[in-house]
Amino acid sequence: MEEKLLRKKINPWENIDIDEKDKIYNFSQGFIEFLKENKTERECTKTIEEKLKEKGFKNIEKVDNIKSGDKIYYMNRKKNIYAGIIGEDLSQGFNMIGAHIDSPRLDLKPNPLYEDADLALLKTHYYGGIKKYQWVNIPLSMHGIIVKKDGHKVEINIGEKEEDPIFTIADLLPHLSSIQDKKPLKDAIEGEDLNILAGSIPLNTSEKEKVKLNILTILNEKYGITEEDFTSSEIEFTPAMKPKDLGFDRSLIAGYGQDDRVCAYTSLQALLNIEKTSKTALCVLVDKEEIGSMGNTGMFSNTFDYFIDILFEKANISKTEKNKIYNISKVLSADVTGAYNPNYKDIYEKNNESYINKGISILKYTGSASKAGASDANAEYLGYIRNLFETNGITYQVSEMGKIGIGGGGTIAYILANKGMDVIDCGIPIMSMHSPYEISSKFDIYTAYKAYKIFYEAS
């Protein structure tokens, strides 16, 4: 009866043969390389465009008409990208996977550079939900662009190469922390305390703020910029630590930016490796999820519909069909979820959590407390996904995240569900999510890759 009726509780690693283990480890190596090289949404889209071109995907704006079997992509402002393989009949709807390529980080303020006690510092404004105390006393690298008055763009990447300097935020020493120690964790480090140390040598001059002036001299020599150019820049400071295998058995990966580049990478690789698809397969990699999906590169942007309009026009499908096609389309919102952390047992309702090494996680709904803000997928669609995964031997788990009322979160799922598509959250469990060093399982990553490929290819 147990065999027949009860949910099976096996650790998937126990049944893995050498071949499969090799595949898991090799795939994860590719992901580690991707994570190492791509720490911002701009760096991601650049690499992703190269990967797409290598596999024969063409910029949709440069093709005249689109037919079955064509591979296309649309680049939006170098911060978000849509890619697809056209199926036999586009009017029969599409199988779409959406992930995000922005991650929590420290952005520079518009007027960042100042001097205090003969030290040069940079004011930051954090992006996304971070626990601020985690971002002090770690090595930081500087990424982004500065646009000069004449429109000329300067790209910056400092702190990743072995020979590069790094940056850091100096926390208070324990000897003088008695007041800080009494504050609630969320207030111990304030937003205005996240000031990055950037130099200490003064310029040999009689002017004031000599250290700041020296930093500006270095920047001017290297990039041709002045202090005012910071006002038209997008500079992101990210953890400079390299992603690494974690554990004696190397079964886990530690690295910054896995929310949500782990789902972006797996859903992209699945698309790139499709040989034949009857349905149209779309991969949507968006920006701004961590701050609410707003803006012209976020999931809410009309640019997504603009891309679909171009696609339909070039495939000779009437725009009036759009809502009908949305209504018969299937979507996986590929975003990470929090994995059960044995250090904090009380936070969880054990029967309904995602666990490391238990495969890809399906969340019928996200949101918080009353399910507020969730799209809450229908049972029929969950049934469809379950059947697809079970038929194809995909290890999956169905969960919530934490006890009711403890917290919550959202994804892009409801934005696409609002368009009429069937959408469900389906991603990789992550421990220490939003921290500078997030943790994932190689088994779960490879399982997600296989699940996404099967989903795209389903008829």
Instruction: Give least dist CB 412 to Mn ion, A.
Output: 9
Closer to Mn ion at the Cβ: 266 or 277? 266
* Length of the chain, in residues: 459
Half-sphere CA count of 161, side-chain side, radius 13 A:
5
Q: Is residue 425 part of the contact set for Mn ion (CB under 5 A)? A: no
Instruction: Give least dist CB 430 to Mn ion, A.
Output: 9
Q: How far apart are CA 322 and CA 277, in angstroms?
A: 21
Closer to Mn ion at the Cβ: 60 or 363? 363
Written as six digits, the tokens of 365 are: 């709904």
| 174-213: contacts with Mn ion (CB under 5 A) | none
36 close to 243: Cβ distance less than 8 angstroms:
yes
Instruction: Give least dist CB 379 to Mn ion, A.
Output: 25
**Reading across the β-sheet that carries 330-333, which strands appear in turn?**
58-59, 71-76, 80-85, 280-286, 94-100, 330-333, 422-427, 360-363, 396-398
Q: How far apart are CA 215 and CA 218, in angstroms?
A: 5
Find, among 316, 271, 272, 274, the residue nearest to 66 by Cα: 316
Q: How far apart are CA 76 and CA 353, in angstroms?
A: 36
Closer to Mn ion at the Cβ: 259 or 444? 259
Half-sphere CA count of 263, side-chain side, radius 13 A:
30
Closer to Mn ion at the Cβ: 115 or 260? 260
Instruction: Give least dist CB 331 to Mn ion, A.
Output: 15
Closer to Mn ion at the Cβ: 105 or 279? 105
Q: Which residue number is nearest to Mn ion in terms of Cβ? A: 260
Q: How far apart are CA 407 and CA 2, in angstroms?
A: 35
102 close to 128: Cβ distance less than 8 angstroms:
yes
Burial class (CB in 10 A: 0-12, 13-18, 19+), 16: middle
Instruction: Give least dist CB 50 to Mn ion, A.
Output: 24
Q: How far apart are CA 440 and CA 449, in angstroms?
A: 14
Residue 237-276 contact track with Mn ion, rule CB under 5 A, x = bound:
----------------------xx----------------
Closer to Mn ion at the Cβ: 112 or 338? 338
| 306-335: contacts with Mn ion (CB under 5 A) | 335
Instruction: Give least dist CB 211 to Mn ion, A.
Output: 36
Closer to Mn ion at the Cβ: 57 or 82? 82
Instruction: Give least dist CB 166 to Mn ion, A.
Output: 24
Q: How far apart are CA 425 and CA 212, in angstroms?
A: 47
Instruction: Give least dist CB 433 to Mn ion, A.
Output: 6
Closer to Mn ion at the Cβ: 287 or 335? 335
Number of Cβ within 10 Å of residue 153's Cβ equals: 10
| 333-372: contacts with Mn ion (CB under 5 A) | 335
Q: How far apart are CA 303 and CA 305, in angstroms?
A: 5
Instruction: Give least dist CB 439 to Mn ion, A.
Output: 14
Closer to Mn ion at the Cβ: 229 or 438? 438
Go through 170-200 and write b for each residue having 16 or more CB atoms within 10 A of its CB, e for each that does not.
ebeeeeeeeeeeeeeeeebbeeebbbbebbe
Closer to Mn ion at the Cβ: 230 or 449? 449
Instruction: Give least dist CB 256 to Mn ion, A.
Output: 12
Contact positions toward Mn ion, by CB under 5 A?
259-260, 335
